[in-house]
Structure 1
Amino acid sequence: MAGLLAAPVLVPTSGAFAQDAGGKSAAPSPVVVELFTSQGCASCPNADRLMTQLADRPDVLPLALHVDYWDYLGWKDTLADPQYTRRQKAYARARGTRMIYTPQMVVSGTGFVKGSHPMQLAEYIDIMQNRAPEYQMAVSAIGEGRYRVVAHALSGAKTGPMVVQLVHYTPSKTVDILRGENAGSQITYVNVVTQWAPVAEWDGQADMSVEIDAGQDQPGAVLLQRQGFGAIEAAARLPE
């Protein structure tokens, strides 16, 4: 997946980071909600439906990552990728545990929701929306399939190494599940992740500008996450 991307170039930006490259003020960062799910998990459909309630919210970016470790139950998840299992395991290691499960939601890299709990999820989203941002990021189109990402640490930010990540997703996918725990179900999944690739590293200090190539002709977003699977400090959808 990462091989589809051109090598990024980091260069310092000049002046204050008040506007994006198109001259518009940077939009507030949406709260990223990662759902680790599986078509073979009987407990997952409620969480999958909860994600559909978030899909049209501009202030939230829900992302469905289908894992493959339930495939042995009689149904191979048609949307799964071992990469997303590895990502979930990395979150577990960062928290000092080996346990992974579905469904699990991760909010902005720091809030963890087990199962489908709308009130707990709403609480985490509210917390993330009301915290003082430490970083600002904007993405602008600079050509067909090419984007410029600029980022800036705000006053008082806790600086540190960051990973710039490019994500693509399918907005909606309906699947007929024929076997396994959810046999006979037809489930619609939203914002199904089809690519998740690091495109640059940043020290989080000097202003940053990165030019990237889109790896897929799909909706997408750029995330700024602390190294070691820490907090997602900023996110921006790719402009259409």
Structure 2
Amino acid sequence: MENILLEQLGHSDFQNMKKEILKKFKKHDKVSGEITRFTQLDNVLDFVLNHQLHFSPLSIFPDHTEGKSLKQATLLGNEKEINGQEIPHYIRREILYASCWHFGDEKLYMWDIYGRDKNCLAIQLNLDNLLENVFAPGNFLFSSKNLDEGFNNKDSNAEKVEISSFHFGKLEYVDLVKKTVKSNLYIGRFKDKAFEHEKELRFLFRQNYKGNQPVGLKDLKCRFLKNAEQNLNVKVIISPYAQKNYLEFITKAFQEYKNIEVIASKFTTLFR
């Protein structure tokens, strides 16, 4: 049985935490509209069939500024130290997990960067629809099979992993070379201007690290409860690089799902 990171424990403190668990990066940041994720077929099937969304540790991201702050500070002041010592950035990269989306409709340059494989797909959702049906209190939890193995190991002193924070919002793009940027940018919520074309919206999960727990979980999943995904209107977009029969194959694969629309990329004609 999978070990649960975020459970309904039934006590008031947890329920209050759960109501506040998903917050915007900025209160004044108006975030609404379509979001698109360019990915592989197995992740789309995981989303549709298994009702879960994959989160990746920042440690596997090629951009090594991920998990760092401008002053090598920590994410939150009250999490600044463990046993009197500051958390190194390489540990922060292991305890921060992200689900990354493009804010807006599909773009040809995004296909070129993340979807050149002929079998790539894109999932497109309405952000408000996702927040209302999946990320509503009581509708989701986090789990990992790797954690279950760690807790069952007799030699392991690992305690139950707790959620520290869970936020979402558009990333800020700053010039890290000039070093004339704001000093209050939170870790995991900004990137260099070189990535500004990505127009990224990110869901950012922070594991409450205590020094004796598995971190860098490569199979961390956000699981949907109460059939929440049935109320989502999902578009599955076929890569413009895909062969014609791939569209037919994917359409048949999802034909029984009334809330899922399979369409060809609007750029397909450019490659025919």
* Fold conserved between structures, TM > 0.5: no
Larger Rg: 2
Determine which structure has the larger helix proportion and give its number.
2
TM-score by length of 2: 0.21
